[in-house]
Structure 1
Amino acid sequence: MSNDGRKGQASNDYLKSPDLFPIAHEDRKIGVIGFGVIWVGMAIVLAAFAIGAAGIVNLSMPLLIVAALVGSILIGIFMVVIGDIGVEHGLSFPVYMRAPFGTIGTHIPSFVRAFTASCWFGINTYFGSAAINGILNILFGFDNWFICFIVFAALQLFNVSLGIKSIERFADLAAPIIILISIWMYIALSGEAQAQGKEVWAWVEMPTSGFGTFTAFMIVAMAVMGFWATLAADMPSLSRFFKAPKNERNWIKRNKSQLLGSLVVQPIFNTLMIVIGAVCYMATGSGDPVNALQQSAGGIILAILLLMIVLAQWSTNTSANVVPAATIFSNIGGPKVPFWVGVVFAGIVGTVVQPWSLFEILNSVLLIVGGILTSIVGILFADYYLLRKRRVNVTELYEANGQYRYMGGMNMAGLISWVVGGVIANMYPTYSSLIGFAVGAALYYVLAKYWWFKKYPQAEIEHPDDSQYLGLTVGRSWVIDETPEK
C-alpha cells in the first residue's frame, strides 16, 4: 500500500466510528408513547423557570402562555422536520452534517452544538445537586453542594453510558412523578403569590402596551425557541432510534413517532414549566425553584419534593443533552473515541463552564444561541428537503475522499451561510430564531445550488433515483462497508 493509500485509510477509519453508523430498522425501539414519555422528562426542566420569571415582568399570564406555546410549537415543527433525517436514513446529526458542511467542516458547527448541550447538562446538574444538598441537609445535616454536583454528574453519565434504551426506561419511571410535583409547585406558589395580594392571572410587574407588549411577547417566544434550538438541530441523533414503518411514502405516517412528542407533549409541559417559573417569581421575587420550594415546604415533604427535582434534571439531561453531545464528541474524535468517552467529555465541559454562574445570564444567552443554532436548522432544511429532496448518498458520508469531501473537507456554502445567518439573526435578537432559520436556509440554497454544487456535483441531485438514495421509504436499512481500503 502506498503512503497515500494509508492516509486515505486512516481518514476513512476516522469517519467510520461504529457508534455513528446508521441505525437499522429492526434496531429502532422507541415508539409514539415511548417518545412522548421521554419528552415529559426532557420538558420538565427547571432552567425554563428563568423564561417565565423574566416574561411575567412585562406580560400577563395569559399572554405569557400564548408566547410560550407559539415558541414551543414553532421549535417543535423544526424538530419534526429535521428529525426525518434520522427516521428515513438512520443517521445522526454529526454524520448528516457532512453533507452541508463537509467531512471536516461538520466538526465546527457540531462542536458548537455539543458545547451548548454540555453547558445545559451542567446547568441542570447544578439544580439537581442543589436539591440533593437540600435533601441531605434535612436528613443528615450535610451541606456541600459541590460534592453533590460531582456525584450527581457521575451518576447521570453512567446512566447514559448504558445506552439509549436505559434512558427510555428511566423516563418511564420519572415522568409520572415529575407531573405530580409540577402540579404541586404551581398550587403552592400560586397560594403564596395570592397571599401577597398578587392575582396570578392578571398581575404584571411592569405593564407595557402596543409595540412594547409585542416585543416582550416575541422575546419570550424566541427565548423558548433558543432554549430548544440545540435539540431541534440535533433531533436526528434521537429520531434514528424511532420506530417507523418500512415502504411508507406518507411523510406524516412515517414520522408519527415524533409528532405526539414534539408537537403536543413538548408544548404542554414546556409551557407548564414557564408558567411555574412565572408564579415562582411572583411568590419569591426570583426564578430559583429550589429556593422557592425551601420557602414553601419543610421536613420530609420538602425532601420528597427535592427528590422529584433531582429526577426531573436527570431525565432531561440524559436524552436532551448528554446523548447528543457525546455522539458529536465521538464523531470528532473518530473510532478511537467511543461513545462512552464522549459522555465523559460532555461531563467535563459541563463542569468547567461553571454552570452555577452561567444560569444568571441565561435569558440573554438564549437569544444569541437561538439565532446561531436555528441557522444550522435552516441549512439542514434547505440541504435535505429543497436540494436533495430527502435523497442521500449515505455510503459516501463515510468515505474520506468521496462526494462530501468538497474542498479539503469543507463545504463553504454551508459555512458561509451559517456565519452570515448567525450574525444577521443576532442583529435582531427579538426575532433571532426565525431570522436565523430563514437566512440560513435561503442563503445556503442559493450558494449551494448556483455555486458550490456546480463545482462539486452531488450524485443524488444529478441522478435523483429513489431506489438508490432513499432509506426507509423504499424499505432500506443502510449498511456501511467496514472493509479496509486497498
Structure 2
Amino acid sequence: MTATDSAGGDRSTVPQGYSPRLYNEDLAPATERKWGAFSIFNVWTSDVHSLYGYFLAASLFLVAGNTFKFLIGIGVGSLIIYWLMTLIGNAGVKTGVPYPVLARASFGTFGANVPALVRAVVATFWYGAQTSAAAGAIVAFLVRYDGPQHLHETSRLFDHSGLEVLCYLGVWAAQLLIISKGMETVRRFQDFAGPAVWLMMLVLAVALSVKAGALDFSVDMPGDDLAALAKSATGLDVSPGSLAAIAAIAATWVTYFAALFLNFGDFARFTPDEKTLKKGNVWGLPVNLILFSLVAAITTAAASNVYGEVILEPAKISAKFDSAFLVLLAALTFAVATLGINVVANFVSPAFDFANVAPKYVTFRRGGLIAAVIALLLYPLHPWDNAPSFVNAIGSTMGPIFGVIVVDYYLIRKAQLHVPALYEEGGEFRFQGGWNVRAFAAAAVGAVFSSILPTYGPSGYGATLGPYSWFIGVIVSGVLYFAFSGGKSPLATPAAAMHGESDVAKGS
C-alpha cells in the first residue's frame, strides 16, 4: 500500500498492517538520530531566551524581594522542570514517536487528535504573538531613522503601521523558510540561535553594569507598583519576598513550560539514547535556566540604576543605547531569540499535530504551513492583544493531558509500549472506536481544576490556587485515569505483552 502526496510529491510506503489514516513518514518512529547533547541544550536556550522569557524572569526577580530568594524559587522550579521534561523526553527516546502519536496510547488512535489539536490551537495563537513581538524588536530599531519613522507614523494597515506590517511579514517568512526545510534545519538553526542569544544577553548585562558603575542587585520600586507586579506575574496577592511569593515563583516558572512538557518528545526522539538526552537536559534546564534568570536580574537592576526606572522589556532597554550598532545587534538578537522559541514551542508542534489529523494528505511541512497561514490570517485581528486569558484557559488543559499520558506510559504500561500498534486502526489502542473514554473523562475533570475554575470560577479559587492550577490538573487527571483503568491497560493484549522491548527498540 502506498500513500501519494496529492501535490505530486514523493511517495511514501505505508508498512504492512499500518493504516494510511494513522501513518506517514513524518509521524513514523525516528530512524536518524543526530541530535546530540548540544542540540538538546539549545532546544532550551531557544525556548527560554525569548522576550517573554526575559520579562517573566525579571518580573519574578522583583517579586522575590532579593537575589537569594529569587534563586531559591527559580532553582526549585528549574529542578521540577528538569524532572518532568526528562519523563516525557525518555518516552520520546524510547519510542521514537512524536507527541500526537504517543498520545494514541492513552487517548486512542483517533481520540489523540483532540489533545493534539488543543496543543495546535494554543501553539498557533502564540506563534502569531511571538512573531509580532519579534517584529516589534526590529521596529524599535528602525524608528531611530527618519524614513522608517515616517512610514511608521503615516501609514496604517489592519490597525497596524505599514512598518509593523512589513516587519511582521519579514519575520513570518523567515520562520516559514526554516520550518520548510525540515527538522534537521531546525536543529542547525537552534545550534546557532542559542549561543548567539546568550552572548547578547551577556553583552547587555555587562554594558549596563559598567554604565551603572557597579554590579548591583537592588531595584527601587514603589510598593504599590511592586504589589501590582506580583499580582500580574504570579496571579496571587502575595507579599514580595514572602515564603508564599517564593513558592508562587517556582510554580509560575514551571507552568511557563506547560506546552513543552508535551511536545519535548518531538525533539527528544531524535537523540540516540537517554544518556545524551540527560546531559543536554542538565545543562539546558537547571543550569541554563538559573544562569539566564540571574543575568535577567543583573540586567534589570543595572538598567534601573542607569535610567532611573524599572524596565522589564529588554528591547526597550537596548533601544535606549546611544550606539546604533548595539541597538541593531540587540534588535536582531531578540528577533532571532523569538524565532527560536516560535520554532521550538509554536511551529514544530502544530506541524506534527495537523499532520496527525490527516497523515495521508498532510505532511510535517504542510502542517507547518497551515499553522503559518492561520497566524498570518489572525494578524489583522491581533487577538494576542486582548485574548490571552481565553487561550491560557485552553492551554491549561495541557496539564491534565500531560497527567494522563505520563500515568499511562509509566504507571500503567511500565514504559513498555507496543509501538507498531500506534499505527493500526484495529490494534491495542482502538479502545472504543479509536477513542479511550476513560482518558477523556479523567482529563475533563482535571481541566475543571486547571482551566475552568481559575479562569471562570469563584475569585477565591484563582486568588488562592492560581499558580498551582496546572499541578492540580495533572494530579487530578492522573489519579482518576489510574483509578478508571484499574491500574492496567484497558485493552492490553497478550501479543502486545510479548512484543515488549523488542518492538519498542525497533519502532516498527
What TM-score range do you get, normalising by the shorter chain? Answer: 0.7 to 0.9
1:265 Cα deviation after fit: 4.6
1:390 to 2:415 alignment:
yes
- Of 199, 210, 231, 2:260 maps to 231
CA-CA distance at 1:442 after TM superposition: 1.3
CA 1:277–1:446: 2 relative to 1, 3 Å = farther
CA–CA distance in structure 2, aligned partners of residues 228 and 108 of structure 1: 20
Deviation at 1:403, TM superposition (A): 1.9
Matching residue of 2:473: 436
- Structure number having the greater helix percentage: 1
Q: Distance in 2 between matches of 1:222 and 1:295?
A: 33
Is residue 2:79 matched to residue 1:79?
no
Shift of 1:71: 2.1
Deviation at 1:53, TM superposition (A): 4.6
Of the structure 1 ranges 432-441 and 370-379, higher mean CA displacement relative to structure 2 is found in 370-379
Contact 1:280–1:288, Cα closer than 8 Å, also in 2: no
**Partner of 1:470 in structure 2?**
501
Determine the structure 1 residue equivalent to 2:160. Answer: none
Partner of 1:378: 403
Does the 8 Å CA contact 1:15/1:331 hold for their aligned counterparts? Answer: yes
Deviation at 1:88, TM superposition (A): 0.4
Match of 1:125 in 2: 131
Structure 1 residues 424-482: Cα deviation after superposition (integer angstroms, max 9, x where no partner): 234531312322222222111111226x95xx42127x9644xx12258x7x3222xxx
1:51 is aligned to 56
Deviation at 1:139, TM superposition (A): 6.3
Partner SS, residue 406 of structure 1: coil
CA distance 1:463–1:308, change in 2 (3 Å) = closer
> 3-state DSSP class of the match of 2:397?
helix
**Is 2:384 the partner of 1:358?**
yes
- Asked if 2 retains the 8 angstrom alpha-carbon contact of 1:30 and 1:242, the reply is yes
Give the conservation status (yes or no) of the 8 Å contact 1:157–1:347.
yes
Q: Which residue of 1 aligns with 2:486?
A: 449
Task: Give yes or no for the alignment of 1:37 onto 2:45.
Answer: no
Q: Is the 8 A contact 1:89 1:478 kept in 2?
A: yes
Q: Which runs of 5+ in 2 are unaligned?
A: 1-15, 153-162, 231-236, 455-460
Between the two proteins, the alignment pairs up a number of residues equal to 451
1:344-401 Cα offsets, whole Å, 9 max, x none, are 1222333455596636786x67975674222222211110010001111211111122
Q: Deviations over 1:402-427 (max 9, x none)?
A: 22121132112211221211222345
The 8 Å contact of residues 81 and 254 in structure 2, kept in 1 or not, is answered as yes
Question: What's the counterpart of residue 115 of structure 1?
Answer: 121
1:260 is matched with which residue?
Answer: 282
Alignment correspondent of 2:429: 404
Shift of 1:46: 0.9
Deviations 1:93-142 (A, max 9, x none): 00010111112221112111122222332232222212223444456832
Question: 1:135 and 1:351 mapped to 2: Cα distance?
Answer: 23
* 3-state SS of 2:320 partner: helix
| Separation (CA, whole Å) in 1 of partners of 2:17 and 2:95 | 25
The 3-state SS of whatever aligns with 2:434 is coil
Per-residue deviation, residues 215-259 of structure 1 (Å, max 9, x unmatched):
333333222222211011111111111122xxxxxxx63743543
1:147 paired with 2:176, answer no
Which residue number in structure 2 is paired with residue 271 of structure 1? 293
Aligned to 2:192: 173
Residue 493 of structure 2 corresponds to residue 459 of structure 1: yes
With normalisation by structure 2, the TM-score equals 0.79
Q: Indicate conservation of the 8 Å contact 1:39/1:265, yes or no.
A: no
CA distance in 2, matches of 1:119, 1:272: 29
Match 2:248 to one of 219, 223, 226? 219
Amino acid at match of 1:14: R
Secondary structure at 2:26 match in 1? helix
Q: 2: distance between equivalents of 1:50 and 1:277?
A: 11
2:337 is equivalent to residue 312 of structure 1: yes
Change (3 A) 1:155 1:293: same
Measure the CA separation in 1 of the matches of 2:476 and 2:382: 34
SS of residue paired to 2:312: coil
In structure 1, the partner of 2:352 is 327
Which residue identity lines up with residue 175 of structure 1 in the other structure? Answer: G
Q: Indicate how the Cα distance of structure 1 residues 351 and 57 shifts in structure 2: closer, same or farther if over 3 A, else same.
A: farther
Q: Quick one: which of 414, 427, 444 aligns to 2:439?
A: 414
Match of 2:21 in 1: 14
Q: Distance in 1 between matches of 2:331 and 2:281?
A: 32
Structure 2 contact 75–286 (Cα < 8 Å) conserved: no
User: Which amino acid is 1:184 matched to?
Assistant: V
* 1:93 aligned residue: 99
Aligned to 2:13: none
Q: Is the 8 A contact 2:217 2:297 kept in 1?
A: no
| CA–CA separation in structure 2 for the residues paired with 1:18 and 1:314 | 26
1:158 aligns with 2:189: no
Contact 1:61 1:275 in 2 (8 A): no
Post-superposition offset of 1:301: 2.3
CA distance in 2: counterparts of 1:464 and 1:326, whole angstroms: 32
Give the equivalent residue in structure 2 for 1:247: none
The 1:367/1:163 distance shift into structure 2, 3 A limit, reads closer
Q: Return closer, same or farther for 1:198/1:87 CA change in 2, 3 Å cut-off.
A: closer
Q: What residue in structure 1 maps to residue 363 of structure 2?
A: 338
Q: TM-score, normalised by structure 1?
A: 0.82
